[in-house]
Amino acid sequence: MDLKASSILAVGGAEDKVNKRDILERFVREAGGDRARIAILPTASSIPDERANFYQGVFSELGAASQHVPIVTRSDAQSPSHAEAIAQATGVFLTGGDQQRLVEVLSGTRALDAIRDRLTEGAVLAGTSAGASAFSATMIVGGMTGLRPRRDAVRLAPGLGVITRLIIDQHFSQRDRLGRLMTAVALEPQRLGVGIDEDTAILYHGRGEMEVLGSGQVFVLDADGAVVHGLEEPPHSEYFTLAGVVLHVLTHGDRFDVPSRRFVRRNGH
Amino acid sequence: MDLKASSILAVGGAEDKVNKRDILERFVREAGGDRARIAILPTASSIPDERANFYQGVFSELGAASQHVPIVTRSDAQSPSHAEAIAQATGVFLTGGDQQRLVEVLSGTRALDAIRDRLTEGAVLAGTSAGASAFSATMIVGGMTGLRPRRDAVRLAPGLGVITRLIIDQHFSQRDRLGRLMTAVALEPQRLGVGIDEDTAILYHGRGEMEVLGSGQVFVLDADGAVVHGLEEPPHSEYFTLAGVVLHVLTHGDRFDVPSRRFVRRNGH
């Protein structure tokens, strides 16, 4: 069957699964609509069978066939039959849970190779909450809440690296996470920080443009031209200076070109 | 006596009055040190006599003479003797409280004329919390907490207008006020938004440079080149797009040039 160019859907968690399911409907549509075959990996979750069953019900209501791929250990992730299940999918869905667990189980395995192969072949990869964070090459695994960039505001770790240009954070304004994302981009200014609200998502297209979906906002932080000082110095204060970071707060329908780091005006605006 | 060029000290509230009193010490120094004569206007406060007495004690401990100027009504603010007390001061201090009360009492009165005259003659004007907010020409009088710019996030009203280039907010990261300040600069992009943390201040010099003082951070928002959409449209969502706002998060010792909207590098950085 024909697939669109590869794309990745990163959801900020708590996407509507009952009423106005715009984000999950878009995922199903990108995966082929009523011909979609979705592989659900509940690897990040502490209750994987329940999560997988739950999403199977939702995708069924949305008219798509889905399969639970029960990967919870590295041994599962090396299983040729699970890799084959992924290879047959037009969409792969990573649930929420713990992004460190997800990366520890998947990195360097047949399952992740199969996901990468399907992406290049045009399948759509989606992750919500922890599943979205894990897409980054440098991944946020924890940190402080609040507005303020501060030396110890964020804990970073290697992620799956399917999107190297972005550091993704989720449940963003609901959990008050701007300070930790500012700290992350101060440390790695070559990457854009992308903070995604609940019931909100970015659809990242192969060519580098991303599109905002859902009911909340997406915060994009560009620290490429910023001046940082006090971050590496002996701490006389926990706070540091971050001058000249560019912030874009985007809503449904907005587009942003990642390689050029520019907002793309919508038609009619 | 000689005075320095006029300057305005805007304090984000909750400045240390007991231990490390850097901000109030700097105010006293700018007002002439042990030759300072400080006029305290507790006009914003709901307990004006108590506030004035309290600050008189603090300034006394810091070695400065101060006088309570008991302006609580517009009639008080028209009193020639109170205006004369202000005319004798090398520093004028506006306490916290309610910025709307402060503006309603002072605007268009002899007292405010006297403050303006003293500023041009080189006295220093300080305000904390509500007293700082009131310096703006367009003043924030209320709004929502949280990260998100949204249509109804901020309530604006005319302020004293002693600093027309800035919209000042206070208790900034402590009360989670970025969303309302982003909304304010989206509405009036010709002004810079300045969000001042507690125990933190800006010293705004006559020539347009401001200096950051204190233990927290100052958030400067420049929406001059930003794209705003969804703010004036019929609401299909309470959120709007604000793309390309420049954010500077500054710490003690940082300087910022307001007319050119540029961070000024510190020596050694």
Provide the token pair at B23.
């901000």
From B174's Cα to the closest Cα of chain A, the distance in A is 8
**A246 and B241: CB-CB below 8 Å?**
no
Average pLDDT over residues A58-65: 96
Compute the mean pLDDT over every residue in chain B, rounded to the nearest whole number.
94
- In three-state form (DSSP H/G/I as H, E/B as E, the rest C), the secondary structure along chain A is CCCCCCEEEEECCCCCCCCCCHHHHHHHHHCCHHHCEEEEECCCCCCHHHHHHHHHHHHHHCCCEEEECCCCCHHHHCCHHHHHHHHCCCEEEECCCCHHHHHHHHCCCHHHHHHHHHHHCCCEEEEECHHHHCCECEEEEEECCCCCCECCCEEEEECCCCECCEEEECCCCCCCCHHHHHHHHHHCCCCEEEEECCCEEEEEECCCEEEEEECCCEEEEECCCCEEECCCCCCCCCECEEEEEEEEEECCCCEEECCCCEEECCCCC
A231 pLDDT band, cuts 50/70/90, is: confident
Q: Note the pLDDT of residue B207.
A: 79
Q: Tokens 């907005």 belong to which residue? A: A254
Q: In angstroms, rounded to a whole number, what is the distance separating the alpha carbons of residues A146 and A175?
A: 8
User: In the predicted model, is pLDDT for residue B268 greater than 70?
Assistant: no
User: In the predicted model, is pLDDT for residue B2 greater than 50?
Assistant: no
Residues of A in contact with B256 (CB under 8 A): 243
B148 near A CB under 8 A: yes
- For residue A250, give every residue at least 6 positions away whose Cβ sits within 8 Å of its Cβ, in sequence order, or none: A212, A217, A218, A219, A220, A256, A263, B241, B243
Selecting from A173, A249, A256 the residue whose C-beta is nearest the C-beta of B242 gives A249
% of chain A surpassing 90 pLDDT: 88
Interface test with B, best of A20, A22, A144, A147 (most B CBs within 10 A): A147
Compute the mean pLDDT over every residue in chain A, rounded to the nearest whole number.
94
B129 is catalytic: yes
**B147 and A173: CB-CB below 8 Å?**
yes
A236 pLDDT band, cuts 50/70/90, is: low
Q: Note the pLDDT of residue B196.
A: 98
Interface test with B, best of A22, A220, A237, A247 (most B CBs within 10 A): A247
**B243 and A249: CB-CB below 8 Å?**
yes
Closest residue, chain B, to A172 (C-alpha): B147
Q: Tokens 């940190």 belong to which residue? A: A143
Q: Do B203 and B25 touch, CB atoms closer than 8 A? A: no
Provide the token pair at B88.
């004798």
**B263 and A146: CB-CB below 8 Å?**
no
A5 pLDDT band, cuts 50/70/90, is: low
**Distance linking the first and last C-alpha atoms of chain B:** 36
Average pLDDT over residues B61-79: 97
Residues of B in contact with A232 (CB under 8 A): none
> What is the ipTM for the molecules in this complex?
0.90
B245 near A CB under 8 A: yes
Average pLDDT over residues A105-117: 97
**Which residues of A belong to the active site?**
129, 171, 198
Burial class (CB in 10 A: 0-12, 13-18, 19+), B72: middle
Q: Do B72 and B102 touch, CB atoms closer than 8 A? A: no
Average pLDDT over residues A66-93: 98
For the entire predicted model, the pTM comes to 0.93
Each residue's pLDDT tens digit, B122-180 = 999 999 999 999 999 999 999 999 999 998 999 999 999 999 999 999 999 999 999 99
